Amino acid sequence: MPPMTLSFRTKMIAGIALIQILFLLAILMSGLTVLSQSRAQALMTRVKGDARLFATASANALVSDDIGALRRIVRQVMRNRGVIYAAAWDGDGRPLAHAGRAIEGAHVYRAQASVMVDKTSYGKVEIEVRDRRFGPILVRASHRILAIALGEIMLVGLASWLFGRYLMRQVAAIEAGVARIASGELGFQLPVAGHDELARMIIGFNTMSAQLKTLQDEATREHHEVLAANERLERRVYERTEELAVANRELEYRAMHDPLTGLPNRILLQDRLFQAIRAGHREATPFALMILDLDGFKDINDGLGHEAGDLLLQEVARRIVARLRQSDTAARLGGDEFALLLPGVANGADAEIVARKLLDALRVPTAIGDQAVSVTASCGAVLFPSHGDEGSTLLRHADRAMYEAKRTRQGFLSFAPAMDEAGDDRLRLQVGLERAIRHGDLVLHYQPTVNLATGEVSGAEALVRWPHPVLGMLAPARFVPLAERTDLIGPLTFFVLRQAATQARAWAERGRRLAVAVNVSAVSLSDSGFADRVERILQEAGVAPGLIELEVTETALMRDPERAQAAIRALSGFGVHVAIDDFGTGYSSMAYLRRLAVAKIKIDKSFVMDMGVSRNDSVIVRSIIDLGHSLGLKVIGEGVESAETMAILAGLGCDYAQGFHIARPMGAEAFDTWLQQRA
The site for ligand C2E (CB under 6 A) is made up of: 447, 463-464, 475-477, 480, 493, 496, 519-521, 551, 581-582, 605, 638-641, 658-660, 665
Query: Would you say 383 or 437 has its CB closer to ligand C2E?
Result: 437
Amino acid found at 443: V
Closest contact distance (angstroms) between CB of 572 and ligand C2E is: 19
Closest contact distance (angstroms) between CB of 439 and ligand C2E is: 17
- Residue 63: is it exposed, middle or buried by C-beta count within 10 angstroms (0-12/13-18/19+)? middle
Closest contact distance (angstroms) between CB of 607 and ligand C2E is: 12
Closest contact distance (angstroms) between CB of 378 and ligand C2E is: 26
Q: Which does 449 bind (CB under 5 to 8 A by kind): ligand C2E, Ca ion, none?
A: none
Candidate segments 163-171, 412-420, 544-552, 654-662, binder of Ca ion by CB under 5 A: 544-552
Query: Would you say 399 or 551 has its CB closer to Ca ion?
Result: 551
Closest contact distance (angstroms) between CB of 605 and Ca ion is: 6
User: Rounded distance, CA 479 to CA 433, Å?
Assistant: 8
User: Rounded distance, CA 472 to CA 494, Å?
Assistant: 23
Longest dimension (CA), the chain: 205
User: Rounded distance, CA 479 to CA 471, Å?
Assistant: 12
User: Rounded distance, CA 45 to CA 47, Å?
Assistant: 6
- How many CB atoms are located within 10 Å of the residue 32 CB? 14
**Could you tell me whether strands 337-343 and 287-294 are parallel, antiparallel, or unpaired per DSSP bridges?**
antiparallel
Closest contact distance (angstroms) between CB of 633 and ligand C2E is: 17
User: Rounded distance, CA 322 to CA 519, Å?
Assistant: 39
Query: Would you say 258 or 582 has its CB closer to Ca ion?
Result: 582
**Could you tell me whether strands 377-384 and 412-414 are parallel, antiparallel, or unpaired per DSSP bridges?**
parallel
Query: Would you say 414 or 521 has its CB closer to Ca ion?
Result: 521
- How many CB atoms are located within 10 Å of the residue 464 CB? 24
User: Rounded distance, CA 148 to CA 156, Å?
Assistant: 12
Closest contact distance (angstroms) between CB of 483 and Ca ion is: 15
Beta bridge partners of 581: 553
- How many CB atoms are located within 10 Å of the residue 421 CB? 12
Query: Would you say 213 or 478 has its CB closer to ligand C2E?
Result: 478
User: Rounded distance, CA 552 to CA 489, Å?
Assistant: 14
When asked if residue 582 is in the footprint of Ca ion (CB under 5 A), the reply is yes
Total residues interacting with Ca ion, rule: CB under 5 A: 4
When asked if residue 551 is in the footprint of Ca ion (CB under 5 A), the reply is yes
Query: Would you say 447 or 623 has its CB closer to ligand C2E?
Result: 447
Query: Would you say 128 or 638 has its CB closer to ligand C2E?
Result: 638
Q: Which does 164 bind (CB under 5 to 8 A by kind): Ca ion, ligand C2E, none?
A: none
When asked if residue 655 is in the footprint of Ca ion (CB under 5 A), the reply is no
When asked if residue 131 is in the footprint of Ca ion (CB under 5 A), the reply is no
When asked if residue 549 is in the footprint of Ca ion (CB under 5 A), the reply is no
User: Rounded distance, CA 217 to CA 235, Å?
Assistant: 27
Query: Would you say 331 or 523 has its CB closer to ligand C2E?
Result: 523
Residues that bind Ca ion (CB under 5 A): 519, 551, 581-582
